[in-house]
Amino acid sequence: MASFDKPALSAYFRRFATKIFISLLFIVSLTSVRVYADSDPKKGEELFTSNCRGCHNPPNVDKKLTGPSLKNIDQKHTEAWLIKWIRNNEEFRKSGDKDAIKIFEDNGKVPMNTFPSFSDDDIKNIIAYVKAISNVAPDDGGGETKNTVTENSENEGSNYSGILWIVVLTLLALSALIFRINRNLRRYAEEKNGDNIPHKSFYREVFSKGNVAFIIFIIVLYSGYWLVSASQGLGRSKGYQPIQPIKFSHAVHAGQNQINCLYCHAGAEKSKTASIPSAMICMNCHKAIDKGPRTGTEEIAKIYNAVGYNTTSGKYDGAQHPIKWIKIHNLPDHVYFNHAQHVKAGQIECQKCHGAIETMDEVQQAHSLSMGWCVNCHRETGVQFEQNKYYEPLFTKLHEELKSGKIDKVTEGEIGGTECQKCHY
């Protein structure tokens, strides 16, 4: 019991140990609530359906398509492995990972798509979906397999928080126990020393003014952090996918029928806004096509209703009811963004910013449109510098360096694309 011969040190340690323990407990429990809340099987399902379903069966179906079944794939590989593979399997194989190379060879060397734009959270959501659905029995009778997490997702959520509460309560109980033991040991030591100090009650000591103030301080600190990060996400709507008034499918038009994006979004090359086509543009084709393979005449009739087209007389003599499309991509008013600048001058493909639109039945916002997203691309993307006479007088030094081979590209960031006033009025 040598340590108790130094009461000052022990008291010092004790005072801080409780505070450190309380704050650790708090941070651990709250961050784990956030971590669990962030892995959303429902979002994972959406990502899976629009990006993976073409090659992989739903994870509860143990049958190979182009790619192998993903049933219980979370047990076959670690999360870190899956993140690397799913984001860019090609690069991952090049890094020499033996598993990755073997899986590629075992599957006849059919390359899987890469998904460099996926965040870790996106992939974790897909893994959460795989976990949630892997052992749900597929519904054989109806032909259509039951691969949605709708019924399960809520259970999953409460299971997670159930486990979490048990962990938190155990930790709390443990801390009370440790506190008690510590207190008894101290008493014992003091008695041995012959001191006779009056003692506060257990609860008085736990909820001393100092400890309570400290807990409040931690709560304020944490909720401040939470508030800031939550409000930064406000108004950002990566993944936003509203139901539109007409079931217009980009997969049918831009995918199967290969209609050029600019046929309908002519503005993207010429002006600031890409623009949504008027119903008269739809009529160019739908005057003749009055039936679709999936929705029959119902949805196309809405176009006729919008322009007041009378199918029997073939005249535009009815009342017009403009289609109220819901705008998906929205930048705040204080940001200047110009399509022509990117599509025409920058030669950037629509898909870089909007994802694989030509595979979507319903458009979904692919990126956050946050400031970081814009600026990062400006830092990385080379501009069409040599061909562009506009830059010549402005950036002679960069031009010379490029010619002499000192640099191999000029990025948008280097010619002012990270300056605040370029994007903010």
Residue 125: CB atoms within 10 Å = 24
How far apart are alpha carbons 29 and 387 in whole angstroms? 56
Minimum separation from the CB atom of position 297 to ligand HEC (A)? 9
How far apart are alpha carbons 367 and 387 in whole angstroms? 30
Minimum separation from the CB atom of position 252 to ligand HEC (A)? 5
How far apart are alpha carbons 249 and 308 in whole angstroms? 22
Measure the N-to-C terminal CA separation of the chain; round to a whole number of Å. Answer: 70
Minimum separation from the CB atom of position 179 to ligand HEC (A)? 43
Residue among 149 and 264 whose Cβ is closer to ligand HEC: 264
The sign of the torsion formed by the CA atoms of 66, 70, 71, 76 equals positive
The C-alpha angle 355, 359, 360, rounded to 5 degrees, equals 80
How far apart are alpha carbons 146 and 152 in whole angstroms? 11
Minimum separation from the CB atom of position 60 to ligand HEC (A)? 15
Residue among 168 and 353 whose Cβ is closer to ligand HEC: 353
The sign of the torsion formed by the CA atoms of 314, 315, 321, 327 equals positive
Residue among 5 and 419 whose Cβ is closer to ligand HEC: 419
Check: CB of residue 302 under 8 Å from CB of residue 321. no
The sign of the torsion formed by the CA atoms of 214, 218, 221, 223 equals negative
Residue 335: CB atoms within 10 Å = 12
Minimum separation from the CB atom of position 186 to ligand HEC (A)? 51
Residue among 168 and 343 whose Cβ is closer to ligand HEC: 343
Minimum separation from the CB atom of position 134 to ligand HEC (A)? 12
Residue among 218 and 265 whose Cβ is closer to ligand HEC: 265
Residue among 3 and 232 whose Cβ is closer to ligand HEC: 232
With 0-12 CB in 10 A as exposed, 13-18 as middle and 19+ as buried, what is 411? Answer: middle
Minimum separation from the CB atom of position 303 to ligand HEC (A)? 5
Cβ-closest position to ligand HEC: 292
Residue among 218 and 410 whose Cβ is closer to ligand HEC: 410
